[in-house]
Every structure is written in structure tokens, then in C-alpha cells.
A and B are shown apart, each in its own frame.
Chain A
Amino acid sequence: MKKQPGHRVSPRSGITKVQELVYELKISQVMTSPVATVTPDTPMRRLREILRTRKVSGSPVVVEGDRLVGIVSIEDLLKCLVKGNVDEPVTHWMHREVITVRQEESVIEAVKRFAEFGVGRLPVVDSRGRLVGILTGGDITRGLLEAVDLDYHQGEIERYRASHIFEDIVSDDTSLILRYRISKGDFQRGGEASSKIRRALDRLGASPQTLRRVGIASYEAEMNIVIHSLDGGEITAEVQPHRVRIVAADTGPGIEDVDKALEPGYSTAPEWIRELGFGAGMGLANIRHCSDAMDLVSHAGSGTRLEIVIRLGAGPETAAGEA
């Protein structure tokens, strides 16, 4: 079955996908295995038990374990009950002409055989003609549903990889700006702004990797203001289809030696703050690790402005060392 190039996904194309799968799936992928069997000398009363307890409507008849010699169904059992004696062996009632399918064939062959012969089940054999499984219409339906579901989940994963922010908003350029006021020393609310930024991006459809990078970068920027600023500051997250730009600004005290501040492990945080687990001197290093661009402008005595850019979509995200 040829795939049509440029075929747009529409509600009706669900039928096309199933048809594709009927050709793509192999019988071995949907059949039931192992299969309950009987031998030619099995009494019909035993067959009755098997059909009842296994809740099946028929059974292949084998010798030597898996050499198919016939098939016997519930219809045959009914005839036996009416005419004969349930102590008679299966061999009196079975059909010797068995319609089968091979496990390496595609499911479409089974569909054709069901249609042509009107049987309820198809024993599945391997290349040597040995019984390996059994196939009913129900097995085919179930197999198709599972394959379609798997396909859908794959599609969802693929969607995450592409940038889908603002997918349905049409403009020459779209920009969403989130602003948050950060209070100095408010450890109770520390992390709230970054959490909200992350949640907003999640709603917009950002990938898990983007969410992690934005979450870490904005958290560290936020906590820097909480811990080090004189009077709090502001965090702005500008979200565009191709990137997120986070700006964290305060009015003091400023950073005396910016280069030193960028070294991992260097911290000016007082002891009581370190005891809370903050001020490890990792904040700016973490931000740099998560971002595609970082710019820090600060002078002692004046404010600090930190700008972070995180690009969305494939490519730079993998460079951030994500699992």
C-alpha cells in the first residue's frame, strides 16, 4: 500500500493508518501463543472441558506436540452432543482440511482468509508447518489497537522534540512577557517565580528539556536576588517561539568582581544562609550550564542585571548535558 506524499493528517485518516498497519503487522506480532491443543485420541468430553475452561471456540489437533493434523471446533462438539457420544475421540469429529496462515505473513493475509473461508480461527504455522500459535478476529483487532496506540505515543514524543510554543497563534512575531517581583530575604517564597515560569512554559507546550533548563536558570537567578540583593528585584521572562530570555535585575549591592563571581564555588553568602543550603557558589555556574547565552552586568554600589537566553527546539538543548 503506497503512502501518499504530503498527506495531511485529518480525522478521517485514522482509517488509513489502520489499513497501513494491517499490511505492516506480521501475524507473529498479533497471534496468541502458546495455544491449547488436543490430540486425535483425546475424548470429546475432554475437548468440552478445554473449550469451557480456556474460553475458546476451537482447538487445533496435533501429533508429536506441534504437527498439525486437524482442527475441531465448538460446532463439532455440538454435533457430537446431539448425535453421538462424548467418549468418542476427537479424530471422529475433527476437520482434516485446515486453513492456516504462516507466522511471517502480514495480517492482511489472515484477513483475506477469514473473509474467503468464513472460519472462526486460523492456526498459525512456521515454515516447517509446525503449529506456533492461533489467530482470531479479536487478536487482529487488539493487535491493531495496540499498534495504533504505540504510534500515537511515538507521535507525542516527536512533538516534544520540535518547538511548538505559540503553535496556533499566527503573527509576524509573538512574544509573551511574564514579570515577577522578588523580595529580598523571602526564603518562604523563594523559587515561586521560577516555578510559575516553568509552569507557564509547560502550558505552552515546551519540551521537558526546555522546562528543566528554564527551571534551573530562573531558580538560580531568583535565589540570587533573594539572598544577595539589598532591596529585592525583578525577574522578567520573555517567551518567543524560538527562545526564552530571562532578565533578573536588582538595585544593589552590585558585584565587585564579576569574573570571580562566575567561578563555581565562590560565594559571598553569610554563614546563616549557607546553613540553609544556599550560597554554594554554584548559581551562576548552573545558569551558564543551562543557557545558550548569559550576560552579567554589575558594579559595586549599583545594581546587577543578569540576562539569560535559552533557545528552543532541537540542537543546542543536547549540548546542555541532559540525560
Chain B
Amino acid sequence: MTVQDIVQALGLEVLSAKGETDRPVTGGYASDLLSCVMAGARAGHVWVTLQGHPNVAAVASLLQLAAVVVTEGAPVDPVTVQRAEENRLVLLTTPQDTFTTVARLAALGIQGGAPGPRRP
């Protein structure tokens, strides 16, 4: 399963790093709280969020995520797109909401959850 497979299956729009969509997707994580993403997402995951501000790109690059899906047609800051391009991070958008998007990704076989101790 690559980012491109997800783009096609869900009809997502690619906002940045169009050349990186052959990257494999190893799982998924959904949260709008950045610290939770720092704790729970793993490299190669696809992150589903409502947030489009520049720190989304910062967090995604730090964690080496496969891609970020910004949901509900939420505005994506131009600085976010720029930062994503610089870090070769694939930014995707959809008009659908987070719940629907996660359900559709799960239907493709993408799983959540990561090994290791979590916060209580």
C-alpha cells in the first residue's frame, strides 16, 4: 500500500511533494493534538487531522510520516505547503471529515496502533 494507492482510492488532492507518493504506508494515526501525534504516530504512518497550520508539517517531518491528510476541506496555510515541499512531505486534502476518512483508510487495510508503552 503506497501513498498513491490511498490518493486514488479516496480521491485525495495532493498539495505537496508530488514525487514522493510511491512511499509505502505502514499504518495510520488520527488526532488533532500534536503532542499525541508525537507520542503515538510512527514513521511511515498516514496522519489524519483537521489542522493545516505549519506545525503540522514540522511534526510530520520529525516523525518521518508517509503523508498527512487534512480533512473537512480545512484551510492549509501556504507556509505549511512550503514547509512540506522543503521536507518532501506529502500533504493531502479531502472535503470529507476525519471519521469518514479514517473509516475509508481502515477499509483499505491500514491499521492503527503502535507497539510500545503508551501514556496511562
A106 at the interface (CB under 8 A from B): no
Verify B38–A220 contact, CB threshold 8 A.
Answer: yes
Which residues of chain B in 50-93 are interfacial with respect to chain A, using CB atoms and an 8 Å cutoff? 51, 53-56, 58-59, 61-64, 79, 87
Chain A residues packing against B (C-beta within 8 Å) = 187-188, 190-192, 194-195, 198, 208, 212, 215-216, 219-220, 223, 264-265, 276-278, 280-283, 285-286, 289, 320-323
B32 at the interface (CB under 8 A from A): yes
Verify A190–B58 contact, CB threshold 8 A.
Answer: yes
B34 at the interface (CB under 8 A from A): yes
Residue of A nearest to B51 (CB): A277
B68 vs chain A, min Cβ distance (A):
12
Verify B35–A220 contact, CB threshold 8 A.
Answer: yes
Give the most central of B55, B64, B120: most A CB within 10 Å.
Answer: B55
B115 at the interface (CB under 8 A from A): yes
B106 at the interface (CB under 8 A from A): no
Verify A289–B117 contact, CB threshold 8 A.
Answer: yes
Verify A282–B36 contact, CB threshold 8 A.
Answer: yes
Please give 16 more A-B residue pairs, beta carbons under 8 A apart, in addition to A216-B62, A282-B119, A323-B115: A187-B53, A187-B54, A187-B55, A190-B58, A216-B63, A220-B35, A220-B38, A223-B34, A277-B33, A280-B33, A280-B36, A282-B39, A285-B39, A285-B119, A289-B117, A322-B116
A-B contact pairs, 30 of them (CB 8 A): A191-B55, A191-B62, A194-B62, A195-B87, A208-B43, A216-B62, A219-B38, A220-B35, A223-B34, A264-B119, A264-B120, A265-B119, A276-B51, A277-B32, A277-B49, A277-B53, A277-B55, A278-B34, A278-B35, A280-B33, A280-B34, A282-B36, A282-B39, A283-B35, A285-B39, A286-B35, A286-B39, A289-B119, A321-B117, A323-B116
Q: Give Cα distance in the complex from A247 to B61, angstroms.
A: 22
Residue of A nearest to B61 (CB): A195
Give which listed residue, A195, A198, A215, A277, contacts B34 with CB less than 8 A. A277
Give which listed residue, A187, A190, A289, A323, contacts B39 with CB less than 8 A. A289
Verify A321–B35 contact, CB threshold 8 A.
Answer: no
Verify B63–A212 contact, CB threshold 8 A.
Answer: yes
Verify B58–A282 contact, CB threshold 8 A.
Answer: no
Verify A286–B53 contact, CB threshold 8 A.
Answer: no
Verify B62–A198 contact, CB threshold 8 A.
Answer: yes
Q: Give Cα distance in the complex from A188 to B33, angstroms.
A: 17
In the complex, which residues of chain A have a beta carbon less than 8 angstroms from the beta carbon of B79?
Answer: 188
Q: Give Cα distance in the complex from A175 to B86, angstroms.
A: 29
Give which listed residue, A190, A220, A223, A285, contacts B54 with CB less than 8 A. A190
A215 vs chain B, min Cβ distance (A):
4
In the complex, which residues of chain B have a beta carbon less than 8 angstroms from the beta carbon of A265?
Answer: 119
A199 vs chain B, min Cβ distance (A):
10
Q: Decide yes or no: A323 and B42 within 8 Å by CB, A212-B63, A277-B33 being known contacts.
A: yes
B114 at the interface (CB under 8 A from A): yes
A24 vs chain B, min Cβ distance (A):
31
Q: Give Cα distance in the complex from A276 to B116, angstroms.
A: 27
Q: Give Cα distance in the complex from A264 to B39, angstroms.
A: 11
Residue of A nearest to B54 (CB): A188
Q: Give Cα distance in the complex from A323 to B111, angstroms.
A: 14
Verify A195–B114 contact, CB threshold 8 A.
Answer: no
In the complex, which residues of chain A have a beta carbon less than 8 angstroms from the beta carbon of B43?
Answer: 208, 212
Across chains A and B, which 10 residue pairs bring their CB atoms closest together, nearest first?
A: A321-B116, A191-B58, A282-B35, A280-B33, A215-B62, A280-B35, A264-B119, A321-B117, A277-B34, A277-B51
Q: Decide yes or no: A282 and B38 within 8 Å by CB, A187-B53, A188-B54, A190-B54 being known contacts.
A: yes
